[in-house]
Structure 1
Amino acid sequence: MDLLLQTSNSNLKAEIAITGSKSETNRLLLLKALFPNVTLANTSNSDDSEVMQVALNGNEEIIDIHHAGTAMRFLTAYFAVQEGREVVLTGSSRMQERPIKVLVEALQQLGAKISYEKEIGYPPIRIEGKKITASKVAIEANVSSQYISALLLIAPQLENGLELKLEGEITSVPYIKMTLALLNDLAIQTSFNGNVITVFPKKEVEAKEMVVESDWSSASYFFSLVALADQATISLTSYKENSLQGDSELVAIYKKLGVETYFGENKITLTKQQHFQLADVNFELNNTPDIAQTIVMTCLGLGIGCHLTGLHTLKIKETDRLEALRIELTKLGATITVTDDSLTLIASHSINQNVKIATYNDHRMAMAFAPLAIKVPIIIENAEVVSKSYPDFWKDLKSLGFEISE
C-alpha cells in the first residue's frame, strides 16, 4: 500500500512504547535455543524476530527467512552445530543476492558441512548439522558484524569453545560487544584482546530471565521528528543510559542537530532545543550505519548539508541503501553524491512536495523519509515494509497528529 503523509502539527507531544531491540532479541532467541532454561521479556515484535523464532521452534527441512538478514546469518551458524539435522536455508530474491560466503567458509574451516544449492557464495544453502571439535578460525574484520556474532553465539556449545581471529581493521565493534555482553550475562566467559576474541565452552547455564532493551534504531525516527518540529517533547520507553546498542550514539549525534535527551526511570525524553544554531555536520558512522538514512533526512529537512562516512556495509543491506538514497533524495530536489562508503548532501532550503518515495523492500527507507512530512506532504510506497522491524510505526505516527491516508 502507498501512504500519503502530512501534518499541520509542528508541536509534537507523546509518550510511545517501543518494543525490544531486534538485534538483542535475535541474539537472545538463538541463545535460548541453545540454553532452553533462559526466558525472555520485551522481545521485538518485528518480522525478522518472528521469522527467527519460527525457524528455531519448527522442524521443517526447508526454512525460508524472507528478507531477514540477521536470521540468515545466525541460523547458518546455529544449524551447522545441530547434530543429525539437515536443513536448506533460503530467502527472498534479494536475500539470494546477499553474500554469505565469508561465514560459510569460517564454519567450514571449523569442520561444518555446508553446500550451495544455486550460486556459490549466496543462499540458498544446505546445512548438515554435526559436532564441531575444532576451536580456531580467522575471519576478515571488516565484514558484516553479523558473521562474527553468528560464530560467537554458537561458540559456548562447541566442544572446545572458540578462538576467533579478526584480520584487518574491525568495523561494527558495538555489535560484537553486544553479543559478548549477552554471553557474559549468562555467565559465559569471554575475552576480547586486540584482534582475538575467545569464548569458553559452557554446556549449560543457570535459569535466568533476560529483558530486552527497546530498539534504538526504531527510536532514531523520533529523534528526527523532534529535530524537524517547531516544538517537541516525546518520551520513549524502555531505554537505559548504559545501552549495549551502538545506535544509542543517537544521543550525541542529535545533540548536534538540536535535540536534547533526558534519561529517566526506564525511558528517554527528547526535547527540541530552542534558538539552536544549525550548521553543516560530518559524522563517521562505522559503528552505526543503520541510522545513516535517518540522519540524511533530518539534514535535508533542516536545510543543512552533511558528509557521512563509514557506510560500506550499506551496499549489502535490504537494498543498496546508498544508491537508493541518491535516487529518492534527487526526486525531492536534493543535491547528493555517494561513493562506496560515503554520502554528501548539499544544503538546500526547498523540498519538492507530494513526491512518491520508493522503499525497495527496505523498512528503513520507509521510516527514514516519513519525518519529512512535517515539512511537505510525502507519499511512501509499499509502506507495509515497516513490519520488518517496527510494525506499529504508522500507528505511532498517527498518535503524534500525522494524517495518514492510502
Structure 2
Amino acid sequence: MNLKLQHISNIENNTLQITGSKSETNRLLILQALYPNIKIENVSNSDDSQLMQKALASNDEIVDIHHAGTAMRFLTAYFAVKDARETILTGSKRMKERPIKILVEALEQLGCSISYEEKSGYPPIRIQGKRPIGNRVSLQANISSQYISALMLIASFLPEGLEISLVGKVTSVPYINMTLSLLSDIGIKGTYDNNVITIESTKEVASKSVVVESDWSSASYFYSIVALSDQASVTLGSYKKESYQGDSSLVEIYKYLGVETIYGENTITLKKVSNPEYQLPQGLDLSNSPDIAQTIAVTCFGLGIGCYLTGLHTLKIKETDRLEALKTEIEKLGGNVDITEDSLRLEPSAVIKKEVVISTYNDHRMAMAFAPLALRTSLSIEDANVVSKSYPDFWADLKKLGFKTF
C-alpha cells in the first residue's frame, strides 16, 4: 500500500501514548519464558514482539520469525539451551541474508549443537536443544549487541552462569546495559567491567511485575516532526528520565535541531524553540544508538543543513542496507549523500523535490523516518504497512497530529 502524506494544521498540545519498547519487551519475553512467574506490563504491540510471543508459545519444529532480527538472535540462544527440543529457526528472504554465524560459534563454545540448513553462516538453522556444559565464551565486541544480549539472556539459566569476554571496542553499549538492568530488575546478578560480562546462575526468581518503558526510537519521529515544524508541542507517554534505552540520547541530539524536551510524570513534552541555530556536531558518533540515524539524517535534510554521522557499521545488516537505502532515497529528493562502511555525510541543500515516492525496502524505519518530510514537501511512502514491525499505530498517531493520508 502506497500512502500519500499531506500536512495542513499546526501541531499544538497533542498527547500520544507510544507502545512499549520492542527492545525491552523482547528481552523480558525471553526471561519470562525461562522464569514464568515474571509479569510484563505495557508490552510492545509491534509485529516483532508478537512474533516473539508466538514463537515462544509454539511447539512446532519449524519456527518462522519473518523479518524479526531481534527474535532470530534471541531465540537462537533460547532454543539452544532448551533440553531435548529440536527447532528449525527460519525467516524471510532478507533474514536469510543476515549473518548469524558469530552467535552460533559463541553458543558452540558452550557446547550447543546448531547446524545450517541452507547457506553456511546464515538462517535457517537447525538447533538441537541441550543444557550447555561451558560457562565461558569469547566474541568480537564490534558486532550487533543483539548477539551479546542473546547470550546474556540465557546466562542465568546455565548451571554455572556465564562469563562473556568481548574482544575490541564494544558497539551499542547501552543495549548491553539495558539487558543487565532488566536482569537486575528481576533479581539476577550480573556485572560488566573491562569488556567482561559476568552473570550468575539463578534457578528461580521472585514473582514480579515489570513495566516496559515506551519506545524511544519510536519517539524519534516526533522529535523530527517538531524540528521540521515552525511551531509545535507534542507530549508522549510513557517515558522516564533515567531510561535504559540508548536512543534516549535524542534529548541531547535534538537540542541542536531546535527541540526542547520537558519531563513530566511519566511523559516527555517536545517543544520547538524560537529562533533555533541548527548545527549538529560534526562526526556525531551513533554507535550506541544506530536506530535513530535514519531519523536524524532525514531531519537534517528537511532543515537544509548538513550532517556527518559515524558509528553506523551495524546498519548494513539490518532489514535492508540502511546506509545505501538512505543515500538512494535522500538523493531522489534532491540531496547529496556520501556513505562509507560506517558513516554518512549529507551536504546542506535548499532543494526538496516534490511528489517523490519513498521506497521502504521492507524496513519500518525507512517509512517512519521519511514521513515527517511531509511538513516540507509532498511525498508518498511505498509499502506503508511495514511500520507494523515496530509501531503499528504510527499512521493513526500522525493523523492525530493533523497529517492527512491518501
CA distance in structure 1 between the partners assigned to 2:64 and 2:336 by the alignment: 39
**1:191-236 CA-partner distances (Å, limit 9, x unpaired):** 1110111000001000000000000000000000000001111000
Aligned to 2:366: 365
Look up the match of 2:304.
303
Q: How does 1:329-348 map to 2 (within 5 A)?
A: 329-348=330-349
- Give 2:271's aligned residue: 271
After superposition, the CA RMSD in angstroms is 0.7
Task: Return the offset for 1:173.
Answer: 0.2
Asked if the contact 1:10/1:374 (under 8 Å) is kept, the reply is no
Runs of 4 or more off by more than 3 Å in structure 1? 10-13
Q: Is the 8 A contact 2:11 2:402 kept in 1?
A: no
Question: TM-score, with normalisation over the residues of structure 1?
Answer: 0.99
Write the distance in 1 (CA, Å) between the matches of 2:74 and 2:350.
44
SS at match of 2:174: helix
Provide the residue aligned with 1:177 in structure 2: 177
Deviation (angstroms), 1:280: 5.1
Query: Displacement, 1:352?
Result: 0.2
Output aligned runs, 1:19-98, within 5 Å: 19-98=19-98
List per-residue Cα deviations over 1:7-58 (Å, max 9, x = no partner): 1224444100001000000000000000000000001000000000000011
Distance across 1 between alignment mates of 2:87 and 2:195: 33
Q: Is the 8 A contact 1:73 1:146 kept in 2?
A: yes
Quick one: percent identity of the two aligned structures?
Answer: 63
Report what 1:201 is aligned to.
201
Alpha-carbon distance in 1 for matches of 2:404, 2:360: 20
Q: Deviations over 1:313-338 (max 9, x none)?
A: 00000000000011111100001111
> How many angstroms apart in 1 are the aligned matches of 2:184 and 2:34?
15
Which structure 2 segments of 5+ residues have no match?
none
Q: What is the match of residue 131 of structure 2? A: 131
1:200-349 aligned within 5 A:
200-279=200-279, 281-282=281-282, 283-349=284-350
The secondary structure found in structure 2 opposite 1:334 is coil
Which residue number in structure 2 is paired with residue 112 of structure 1?
112
What's the CA shift for 1:81? 0.5
2:319 aligned partner, one-letter code = E
Alpha-carbon displacement from aligned partner over 1:119-153 (angstroms, at most 9, x marks no partner): 00000000010011210110100010000000000
User: How many pairs does the alignment contain?
Assistant: 405
3-state SS in 1 of match to 2:232 = strand
Query: Matches of 1:273 and 1:37 in 2, distance apart?
Result: 46
Tell me the distance in 1 between the aligned counterparts of 2:203 and 2:379: 53
Give SS of 2:156's match: helix
Q: Is the 8 A contact 1:11 1:230 kept in 2?
A: no
- For 2:260 and 2:277, the matched residues in 1 are separated by 14
SS at match of 1:256: helix
Q: TM-score, normalised by structure 2?
A: 0.99
Q: Which residue of 1 aligns with 2:386?
A: 385
Provide the C-alpha distance between the structure 2 equivalents of 1:336 and 1:144, rounded to a whole number of angstroms.
25
The one-letter amino acid paired with 1:297 is V
Task: Output the amino acid matched with 2:268.
Answer: I
The AA in structure 2 aligned to 1:374 is L
Q: Which residue of 1 aligns with 2:145?
A: 145
Q: Distance in 2 between matches of 1:119 and 1:274?
A: 55
Measure the CA separation in 2 of the matches of 1:46 and 1:176: 22
Gaps of 5+ in 1: none
Structure 2 residue identity aligned to 1:128 = Q
SS at match of 2:271: strand
Q: Distance in 1 between matches of 2:281 and 2:370?
A: 19
TM-superposition CA deviations, 1:136-178 (whole Å, max 9, x none): 1101000100000000000000010000000011110000000
Q: Distance in 1 between matches of 2:168 and 2:216?
A: 28
Separation in 1 of the partners of 2:112 and 2:149? 17
